[in-house]
Structure 1
Amino acid sequence: MKIQLPAYLFFITLLLLTPYAKAEHQTLEEFSNNKQWQKLLHIKSDNHSFITSPHFWLSGTNNRNTLSELKATIKAFKQPVTKNQSNDQHAQCQFPARYQLIKKHIDIAQHGTFKDISCDKYQKWRKQLNINSLSLVFASGYMSNPASMYGHLFLKLNSANSNSNLLDSSINYGAIVPNSENPIVYVLKGIFGGYDAGFSDKQFYRHHHNYSDIELRDLWEYKLNLSQFDVDLISNHIWELLGVKFDYYFIDENCAFHIAKLLELVLDEQLISDNSLWVMPSSVAKQLTNHNYQQSLLVTDIKYIPSNESILHNFFKQLTQSQKHVAQILVENNFDFSNDDYQNLIIKDKQIIIEVLLQYLGVMQVKDKDNQTLLNFKQKLLKQRFILPLGKSLNFKNNKQNLAGHLGMPPSKFSVGVSNSDTHSYGTIGFRMNYFDHLSFGSKNKFTNVEMLDLKLAISDHALKIKKLDVIDIASLYTVPKLWQDTFSDAWAVTVGFEQINNECLNCGVYFAQGHLGKSYLVNESTLIYSLLGAKAFVGYQDKISLSAQFGFITTLNKKLKSKLEFSYRDNHNLAELSNTKLNFELNYHFAPDWELRLNYEKQQSNLIGINLNYFWDF
């Protein structure tokens, strides 16, 4: 039996099954309101732009009108190259991303004749890079630079030509800071404004060398699943942004924010709100991993790139006790390879020890780059290595401790609780802008405290009182000591804020700033003992300075429990209201993702017991 369908059904079926060759054309008014066009112009929610460079705007309008800019762009694209300009100065060569989108969404034939311009510099740049995919790279926090304590983000442009990812190009966003800038001015301008900022392109090996080899920071590469059209669009837009200036603000309009905005060009939903009060690199990385792109996950792979120091300690943990012993003998005896302990080893053990010691000296040279003795030691090691057979004896063994940058607790915190002292009880509510403290789970920096705007309010007699406000509270109680040389690690802490001078008074507030230096000892992977000496200055209350000493330990009891015990003594002879001694114990129970329960006991003249429920979140 032969079935014959009406002819019109055939054409309807063909129409439904045939993919559209191009997007439906839009009018100028429609496209000026297109989200992608507005993203190309970096338009804020208030219709102003994040970009401050006048040359970026072809319309020259002060209010950055999107329709006026679209009309001016189309007009500039139609113009022939004049005698007084090179092809590379033409609008098509300056704004290839605009050209790409306009040709896709607008019927340009209705607006005159367009002649494609040959753009030598742009085409050379694209040909050299030959970008076929993009990656987001997260660099771990760097305690030696206030602007890098929270980590850093940049883009990696993956090339189809490259045999090594080190030869790929990368795009960085940062403040334009004078080389000899005063550190205090640097911090103030970074927070309150005063610096221009912009994008710059460098080969990835330069960032890898700076972050992994010099600053000894771990990297995580997030491979992004984007179509070639969108890879080209972002790449073209990067070309448009090189040399363009923005305002820089460390807390919100920072590297994480503008890298996110660059990626949002090809995403349907925002990674970060334009109105976010603060933006953390870890938050952007987390949003990426939760994001979908064309019905698939946006992030297809996460690659861990350990720093030289992480590699060293990974290698060190692979050594047997006898290998560690021989390595220590070599270090203590200026790498004298004639000793019997070394000579009696089998070849494999010699290879392993030499490889670890070469890694060790590489890290030591970063910390003391002008030390000629270290260079001589390295030459000794290399000569000894050349005697041994070829081949790599150790490989980096990845483990669950190398958590990617987006994992861990969100940075911001709300808390509610109750406190009870010897004389009265009160409720508490709290807020912390960011980031983590000594007892946080999932922190990338063990035994480190990085907190900003940590506020705790007491609810007493139907009134709110400030119990404490830490504007900044930064402490690094453990920096990895030199293997085979140092038993103790350097430790330091700085806090600036407002507090009540004792537990019995909620109307005895005082501003303060304190700093401490000391040493710590790592008992095992879970427990640290520390001792600090320092001073605390009180402002607004007799303007006195007290000397202080602190001794304490921090330990991880299991996957859900951490505790801290600290004893401190202060020379408070000018402040009778302050006790000379203070004992503080804190227990953290991480009972659910983004939630924890904290118990606190404090002894200072009187007893204070408190319990707080903390909820962690981010934008």
Structure 2
Amino acid sequence: MRFLNLASLLVVLALLLPMSPVHAADDAWSQAQALELWQRDEWRKLVHYKPGSWPGRWKSQSDDPRFFLAADGASDPRAELRATLEAFAAPGAAGDQHAQCRFVARLAWLRRELALGELPQPDCAEYREFRALVQATRAVLVFPSYYLNSPSSMFGHTLLRLDSGVADGGAEYLSFAANFGALVNPDDNGLFYAFRGLTGGYRGQFSVDQYYKKIREYNHDENRDIWEYPLNLSEEETGRLIEHLWELRHINFAYYFFDENCSYRILELLEVARPGLDLTGDFPVTAIPIDTVRAVQQAGLIDGKHFRPSQGTVLRQRLDRLPPELHPLVTRLGAEPGLLDEPELRALSPGLRASLIDAAYKYLRYTQTSAERDPEIAQRSFQLLQSLQEHAADLVPAPADPADSPDRSHGSRRLSLGAWREERQDYLTLGLRMSLHSLQENRAGFPAGAQINIGNLDLRIEDDGELDIQRLDLVDILSLSPRDRFFKPLSWAVTTGVERQWAGGREHRVAQVNGGVGATRALWADHRVYGLFTGRLEHNHGFADPLQPAVGARGGLLLGGGTLTAAWEAGVEQFANGQLRTRVDLQNNLQLSRNQALHLELLWRDQSPDDTLAVGLRYQYYY
């Protein structure tokens, strides 16, 4: 009897006393095994696992050993889960380096799925400080628009804004930004930078910083418009996102311009925030930022949009309120604010006078973009600001957000089917372009005068069924921003790839790289005229010496008329071997819908002693 009482007492004590850490970890692992928890989608996304080279194999997209607790955790979800449970049960003396402090999102998820019991309580001071600073309850997807002067940003960019409460009326300046970017050596030249970015030669990391710094970087320094898309994540989902963001601090990922880039990593964060989402699965080859915005939109996460214009856009908006004959007064007033007392300006209506002062003030602000503070200009700005405050009641309200936001543009990829006739020969073309936009295409949602084509392939099918390459553009970029008294950008172009050229009476495939620099002027409405001086290096077996340089010029018209747009261009090139090449290319585009178009092209080429004329009609589908 006494023995039974003692045994019962021991059982009761065992139930009342907490399990040792070792027993707690063993018990948790037994539960996890019963549930096969390592096969759950939530676990795979927390550790960024993707299917490996063989069926049933997995590999994390992070190659940083600090992100794993098992020796083979990068490729074994089961081993990483077991090591995580064991690390959570380890003594808490490690403080901020304890697994519970480093992997707070893993811990929160495992607590929901398992009965972990009493675990050690390490002092996570760094995480507490981080959460005290980033007390966000909502998230906003941010898209800074296309920036042609940087290879990594010419397709745009995405990041997240983290708000505490509803951020409006300027409160968003106090928010935080979560951004993924490449760790770039500032000494890398442009070619090396592009090569390493294309081949994964850079490491990428997440960072969290004040959002106002991103506004300054994109809106002011780089003169890029920003589109902000509020997300309908709950407070709990936003908290889960921030927890995982903490886990990823200082963790390295491979960075690739076209797929595993800023936008792809943002999608991974959203997948962790809302379990069940599959956003990254739609981007096995490329992750163009605006395509990822559309993917988030199609998943039902976006709840509205807001436009934050760059300083250049703000100035253009102010100039549009003024008659063209008053534009010279804007620069004069910026140089001499005292001109406001002149009879010529006093005679203006109150509204026109207020708009003129506003434009002059915005012009001075624009001229100081990325420049050191000039005390004299600061004094003039202050004088104009004082005058603007006196005329505040007469100011015209700010214009509404543009209707053509980037998410409403045509799809980034393009398929095409064309029928051509050239030199009494008929053939078909099949085309695939990986990204993004040509001058003559539907311009809604794109910067006017910007062309960004990467990976554009046209195959040619002869009437006898023979298949050949018609054209391959690896890179084809053209920037035609107009110059005037306020804006003075250079227009420029760079193209490299394979194309067909006539020489010696027959057509040859040639490899070439060419570029140019010049200027563009606005005409009326959305029409532009441009001219560039060009240089070219071509490898052509139709020449006696195949490798030949050339200099030349090109110029043309951009015509925009709603659903009908056109890009007409003429060019001439003089090669070192005496070959003179002239061409006229008339491209016309009829928009059938947002993602469908008919394209008519007439191409005349005079490559002495022969000239040729090609006419083609092409159906284009964007996706």
Whether the 8 Å contact between 2:101 and 2:122 is mirrored in structure 1 is yes
- C-alpha distance after superposition, 1:218-263 (max 9, x if no partner): 1111111122222111110000001100011111110011111111
Map residues 128-277 of structure 1 onto 2, 5 A cutoff: 128-160=133-165, 164-265=171-272, 266-273=274-281, 276-277=284-285
Determine which of 554, 559, 563 is the counterpart of 2:558: 554
Whether the 8 Å contact between 1:500 and 1:506 is mirrored in structure 2 is no
Whether the 8 Å contact between 1:139 and 1:153 is mirrored in structure 2 is yes
Q: In structure 2, the residue corresponding to 1:157 is in which secondary structure?
A: strand
Question: Is 380-389 or 170-179 further displaced after alignment?
Answer: 380-389
Does residue 97 of structure 1 match 2:99?
A: no
Q: Which residue of 1 aligns with 2:125?
A: 120
In structure 1, what is the Cα distance between the partners aligned to 2:82 and 2:119? 14
Q: In structure 1, the residue corresponding to 2:187 is in which secondary structure?
A: coil
Q: In structure 1, the residue corresponding to 2:599 is in which secondary structure?
A: strand
What's the CA shift for 1:386? 2.6
What's the CA shift for 1:587? 0.9
Q: In structure 2, the residue corresponding to 1:574 is in which secondary structure?
A: coil
What's the CA shift for 1:282? 0.4
Q: Quick one: percent identity of the two aligned structures?
A: 24
Q: Which residue of 2 aligns with 1:88?
A: 96
Taking structure 1 as reference, are residues 398 and 275 closer, same or farther at Cα in structure 2, changes over 3 Å only? closer
Whether the 8 Å contact between 2:138 and 2:164 is mirrored in structure 1 is yes
In structure 2, what is the Cα distance between the partners aligned to 1:526 and 1:606? 32
Does residue 457 of structure 1 match 2:426?
A: no
Taking structure 1 as reference, are residues 431 and 138 closer, same or farther at Cα in structure 2, changes over 3 Å only? same
Taking structure 1 as reference, are residues 237 and 399 closer, same or farther at Cα in structure 2, changes over 3 Å only? closer
In structure 2, what is the Cα distance between the partners aligned to 1:371 and 1:123? 38
Q: CA RMSD in A?
A: 2.4
In structure 2, what is the Cα distance between the partners aligned to 1:355 and 1:448? 29
Does residue 74 of structure 1 match 2:80?
A: no
In structure 2, what is the Cα distance between the partners aligned to 1:588 and 1:386? 49
Structure 2: give runs of 5+ residues left out of the alignment. Answer: 1-30, 53-57, 606-610
What's the CA shift for 1:535? 1.5
Does residue 60 of structure 1 match 2:67?
A: no
Determine which of 343, 357, 362 is the counterpart of 1:359: 362
- C-alpha distance after superposition, 1:84-127 (max 9, x if no partner): x3x22211111110011000011224xxx324444222122112
Whether the 8 Å contact between 2:92 and 2:123 is mirrored in structure 1 is no
In structure 2, what is the Cα distance between the partners aligned to 1:153 and 1:277? 18
Taking structure 1 as reference, are residues 378 and 269 closer, same or farther at Cα in structure 2, changes over 3 Å only? same
Q: TM-score, normalised by structure 2?
A: 0.87
What's the CA shift for 1:275? 6.1
Q: Which residue of 2 aligns with 1:15?
A: none
Whether the 8 Å contact between 2:585 and 2:603 is mirrored in structure 1 is yes
In structure 2, what is the Cα distance between the partners aligned to 1:481 and 1:52? 50
Taking structure 1 as reference, are residues 415 and 68 closer, same or farther at Cα in structure 2, changes over 3 Å only? same
Whether the 8 Å contact between 1:326 and 1:342 is mirrored in structure 2 is no
Whether the 8 Å contact between 1:29 and 1:67 is mirrored in structure 2 is no
Whether the 8 Å contact between 2:494 and 2:514 is mirrored in structure 1 is yes
What's the CA shift for 1:443? 4.1
In structure 2, what is the Cα distance between the partners aligned to 1:92 and 1:515? 55
Question: Is 387-396 or 240-249 further displaced after alignment?
Answer: 387-396
Q: In structure 2, the residue corresponding to 1:252 is in which secondary structure?
A: coil
What's the CA shift for 1:207? 0.5
What's the CA shift for 1:457? 1.3
Q: Which residue of 1 aligns with 2:430?
A: 429
Question: Is 587-596 or 378-387 further displaced after alignment?
Answer: 378-387
What's the CA shift for 1:146? 0.9
What's the CA shift for 1:436? 0.3
Does residue 528 of structure 1 match 2:552?
A: no
Whether the 8 Å contact between 2:414 and 2:621 is mirrored in structure 1 is yes
Letter in 2 for 1:269: L
Q: Which residue of 1 aligns with 2:303?
A: 300
Whether the 8 Å contact between 2:48 and 2:60 is mirrored in structure 1 is yes
Aligned length: 572
Determine which of 607, 612, 617 is the counterpart of 1:606: 612
- C-alpha distance after superposition, 1:41-90 (max 9, x if no partner): 000121101111111111121653111111111111112223xx3x2221
Structure 1: give runs of 5+ residues left out of the alignment. Answer: 1-24, 293-297
Whether the 8 Å contact between 2:322 and 2:352 is mirrored in structure 1 is no
Q: TM-score, normalised by structure 1?
A: 0.87
Q: In structure 2, the residue corresponding to 1:580 is in which secondary structure?
A: strand
In structure 2, what is the Cα distance between the partners aligned to 1:452 and 1:575? 32
Whether the 8 Å contact between 1:142 and 1:217 is mirrored in structure 2 is yes
Taking structure 1 as reference, are residues 599 and 124 closer, same or farther at Cα in structure 2, changes over 3 Å only? same
- C-alpha distance after superposition, 1:525-567 (max 9, x if no partner): 321111111111112542111221112101112x211112111
- C-alpha distance after superposition, 1:183-235 (max 9, x if no partner): 21111000012111110010100101100111111111111112222211111
Q: In structure 2, the residue corresponding to 1:251 is in which secondary structure?
A: coil
Whether the 8 Å contact between 1:176 and 1:195 is mirrored in structure 2 is yes
- C-alpha distance after superposition, 1:262-316 (max 9, x if no partner): 1112242321227611110001100111113xxxxx2112111111111111122
Does residue 502 of structure 1 match 2:502?
A: yes
In structure 1, what is the Cα distance between the partners aligned to 2:143 and 2:244? 21
In structure 2, what is the Cα distance between the partners aligned to 1:152 and 1:141? 8
Whether the 8 Å contact between 1:452 and 1:472 is mirrored in structure 2 is yes
Letter in 2 for 1:150: F
Determine which of 44, 59, 64 is the counterpart of 1:38: 44
What's the CA shift for 1:27? 4.5
Q: In structure 2, the residue corresponding to 1:455 is in which secondary structure?
A: strand
Map residues 411-426 of structure 1 onto 2, 5 A cutoff: 411-426=412-427
Letter in 2 for 1:554: L
What's the CA shift for 1:168? 0.6
In structure 2, what is the Cα distance between the partners aligned to 1:413 and 1:177? 31
Map residues 274-285 of structure 1 onto 2, 5 A cutoff: 276-285=284-293
Question: Is 272-281 or 548-557 further displaced after alignment?
Answer: 272-281
- C-alpha distance after superposition, 1:363-412 (max 9, x if no partner): 11116x1484xx524412422543562747354212445x3332201111
Q: Which residue of 2 aligns with 1:315?
A: 318
- C-alpha distance after superposition, 1:421-440 (max 9, x if no partner): 12311111111110101012
In structure 1, what is the Cα distance between the partners aligned to 2:505 and 2:78? 61
In structure 1, what is the Cα distance between the partners aligned to 2:338 and 2:477? 39
- C-alpha distance after superposition, 1:455-509 (max 9, x if no partner): 11111132111111111000001256442xx6x7531111111111139988511
In structure 1, what is the Cα distance between the partners aligned to 2:231 and 2:206? 20
Q: Which residue of 1 aligns with 2:11?
A: none
In structure 2, what is the Cα distance between the partners aligned to 1:423 and 1:120? 78
Question: Is 542-551 or 267-276 further displaced after alignment?
Answer: 267-276
In structure 1, what is the Cα distance between the partners aligned to 2:504 and 2:517? 30
In structure 1, what is the Cα distance between the partners aligned to 2:338 and 2:146? 34
In structure 2, what is the Cα distance between the partners aligned to 1:552 and 1:614? 23
In structure 2, what is the Cα distance between the partners aligned to 1:506 and 1:405? 44
Letter in 2 for 1:187: A
Taking structure 1 as reference, are residues 268 and 572 closer, same or farther at Cα in structure 2, changes over 3 Å only? same
In structure 2, what is the Cα distance between the partners aligned to 1:33 and 1:130? 32
Letter in 1 for 2:39: N
In structure 1, what is the Cα distance between the partners aligned to 2:116 and 2:572? 76
In structure 2, what is the Cα distance between the partners aligned to 1:495 and 1:334? 46
